[in-house]
Chains A and B, each alone.
Chain A
Amino acid sequence: MVSQKIYVALLLIVLVFSVVSFTINYLMINEVRNILLKQELVLSKVQANVSELQGSINSLSGKTNELSNLVKSLQASYEELSSKLRGVKYPLVITDSIGRTVYVKYEPSRVVSVGPSLTEILFSLGSGDKIVGVDRFSNYPPVINELIERGVVKVVGDAFTLNVELIASLRPDVVFLTYSAQIEKYVKTLTDLGICVYVVKVEDFGDVYNAVMSLGIIMNKADSALELLSNITGRVMNTYTRVINYLNTTGTPRVSVYWEIFPDYWTLGGNTFQNSMIVYAGGENIFGNTSLSWFVASPESIIDLNPSVILLSYNYGMFGTPQDLIGMIASRPGWSNITAVREGRVYVLGGVIEDIVSRPGPRLGVAVEVLARILYPGVYNITQVPSFIDENVVSGWGVPLG
């Protein structure tokens, strides 16, 4: 009898205690939520500017000033943001590329980056020292390879197969995932484990700008982000204006390009960042007016469209030496009449350059500069473009690879 009364009394105490603490928490949560909502409003303004920027980039045709104006307005809204936040930056509410609301509780000091572009962006922002995990394709900057070997940074898989346990054991403050159809299931698993996940789309030029800005805000490196964006924009715009000026003053037609990223006949349509790269380099993708992304082209249409330059991705030598690849192209039925083959303007992109032109990341400016030199060597006083283009060739042209 006595024990029962004590038991009931204890239960009541526990009940009262939980009700009281719950009420206190509830009231506090409302307060915190209000603060967060205020921050979100200002942040969404910044993000709106970024999407405006993206829209403008996509419809670029000589409007070079508008780009730098938008970067300036981005800077202005950031300054507005930082003046309003004045010291209170975290916790942060930000929307990621797939519309998820992400809460970043404090400045991240342990970060996992799944995607080579994201790793490059983090290093360019100066947050490379915070990286504790990368995917297996992250190989730039070279210091990351050393870090992996020394075990300071762990390899957690790739966009298709993630080692969730390993990621959890690294106790990251935030995990940056490159968006792919397969990534969705990992998002849920990681968030169930209480890990903060931010999904980034890096598919076209605008995506890169968005990614740099978002990562900059999350890592408290928004200034570096803006600087990086200005750098990239500067490099791209410099190349573009120089080439377009040359074309206008000399009346040269634009060079048409066929880019085979994978045999046989895998190429890119208008809806890809590589297409944008070609456009900014002053060239024209023969399939650039399609709204396709990556697809297999019909060989007859390539012959008919008669490109002046053919680019081949080396694919890390998977299909033979550069000479093998070029020989394979030239021996295709009917291809010997294509202008590019006749004039010997078939180039293999390999080594570090292959990474640079196949990654939508901070080295976009480099990619555009490389492509411009391949398409218009005369503009850059290059007498002969070799068949195999790697980092040695590009350094020889005086193009900084970073």
Chain B
Amino acid sequence: MCPLMSSLEIFVLWRKRRFLTTLTLSALILAILFFTHLSLGYSVMNPLNVLLSGTTQLITGSLGIEGYRVLRALTAVVVGATLALSGYLMQLSTKNPLADPYILGVSSGALFAVSLTLSISGYVLHPLMIGVRTITAFLGGLIAYLATLFIASKAGMSPTSLVLAGVAVGTFFYSASLLPQYFISRDIHKLIAWSMGSFVSPSADALILMISALLLTMSYAFYVRHPLNNLQVSDDFVKQLGWDPARLRRYSTLLASLITSFTVAWFGVIGFVGLAAPHISRRILKSSELVFVLPTSIILGSALLTASDLLSKVLVAGVEIPVNVIASMIGAPVLALAIVELRKYGY
């Protein structure tokens, strides 16, 4: 007769099963949303058809509506994954449940850089050109992030110092980004709307760039998954494991900022997904284990943003609503349901 399993073993098995079920269901939901996104638009099309002809169009380079839809749906998926991953890493590093991808001033730096180039533009640079936009936003985000890092390291590189430094730098650059807008154009509201985020003009180059950055960050997170997970406990615990917690924080926030500044460069600031996806995952999984939460929040983030983009192009016929608005409106109730049991997970 087999001995009964200890309650610990039962718990471990239960957790794993819950994770696998959640992951499969989320992946299924994502797939459904993806195909719905492909099929809906100004006219309803067969999603498989769209996928096939869209992919061929993307490969050959001459895009039609199908190619546009595939590109846009893929972008929503990738950006959602990016923001969720970035948000999760930020929450880990700063030990702050309110952390989102922009907490370290990255988005403000990127916004400021692009706003600056827009005000110099027209005569020298073409700011909507591919290379120019990516490089300026990336540099802007990086500079802001380094400024945050510098201030935080002077304060001991503790989680709190990171957050506060991020607030200081972020606010500075955000205000600074509004300044050039007042001097270049009367269409201030349009520039602000641009910065609010939209997938209406997806770019294949941007997509490739973001996928590679995302994979890079994911592989890093996988590599340091053990100490990174224990960052939630305490710094001393991580040191006991033989890893330097400050360095972990530095690298994970650096990578998170990197991928975030790319999304800001191309699609402006899309809030909420980075904050909400990890929390919702924790609630559903009833666990804070990185191995479980990370993949789930990535898939949930993609699902959330794909759903939002779908609604933003379909809600009002012929009109594009900023995806930011919709993401917040869908995400907020879901998050509200999830936070009720936050105290169980150490927050």
Contact = CB atoms under 8 A, between A and B. Distances in A.
Interface in B147-179: none
A332 B64 CA distance: 9
Contacts of B128: 263, 319-320, 328
A333 B188 contact: no
Given A296-B319, A301-B318, A333-B65, A264 B126 contact: no
Contacts of A303: 42, 65
Contacts of B317: 301
Interface string A291-323: 010011111110111000000000111111000
Contact of B184 (A264, A298, A318): A318
B119 to A, nearest CB: 9
Given A265-B320, A301-B317, A333 B43 contact: no
B193 A333 contact: no
B313 A298 contact: yes
B274 interface: no
A266 B190 contact: yes
Interface string B58-70: 0000011101100
Given A160-B182, A161-B182, A303-B42, A296 B64 contact: no
Given A287-B318, A316-B122, A265 B186 contact: no
A290 interface: yes
A161 B183 CA distance: 11
B319 A292 contact: yes
A298 B198 contact: no
B38 interface: no
Contacts of A301: 42, 317-318
B205 interface: no
Interface of B, secondary structure class, is loop
A264 B133 CA distance: 15
Contact of B122 (A160, A295, A297, A317): A317
A328 B185 CA distance: 21
Contacts, number: 90
Contact of B319 (A137, A264, A295, A334): A295
A262 B186 CA distance: 12
A158 interface: yes
30 contacts: A137-B186, A160-B182, A161-B182, A262-B190, A263-B128, A264-B198, A264-B201, A290-B319, A296-B320, A296-B322, A297-B320, A298-B41, A298-B318, A299-B68, A299-B201, A301-B42, A301-B317, A301-B318, A315-B185, A315-B187, A316-B122, A317-B122, A318-B122, A320-B128, A333-B57, A333-B64, A333-B68, A333-B71, A334-B67, A334-B68
B318 A290 contact: yes
Contacts of B245: none
Given A262-B190, A315-B185, A328-B128, 15 more contacts: A160-B188, A264-B198, A295-B320, A297-B318, A298-B200, A300-B42, A301-B42, A303-B65, A304-B43, A316-B122, A318-B122, A318-B185, A319-B127, A324-B126, A334-B64
Interface string B311-336: 00100011110100000000000000
Contact of A317 (B123, B188, B201, B318): B123
Interface string A100-143: 00000000000000000000000000000000000001000000
A316 B187 CA distance: 12
Interface bracket on A: 20 to 34
The bracket for how many chain B residues form the interface is 35 or more
> Closest 4 CB pairs between A and B?
A333-B63, A300-B42, A333-B68, A301-B318
B24 interface: no
A300 B68 contact: yes
A328 B320 CA distance: 19
A158 B127 contact: no
B139 interface: no
A262 B200 CA distance: 13
B168 to A, nearest CB: 25
A296 B200 contact: yes
B266 to A, nearest CB: 12
Contacts of B43: 300, 304
A296 B193 contact: yes
Interface in B182-224: 182, 184-188, 190, 193, 198, 200-201
Given A266-B190, A318-B185, A334-B68, A298 B126 contact: no
Contact of A265 (B118, B182, B188, B200): B200
Which residue of B43, B122, B186, B319 has the most chain A CB atoms within 10 A of its CB atom? B319
B49 interface: no
Contacts of A296: 193, 198, 200, 319-320, 322
Contacts of B198: 264, 296
Nearest to A181: B189
B56 interface: no
Nearest to A158: B186
B116 to A, nearest CB: 13
Nearest to B123: A317
A112 B121 CA distance: 32
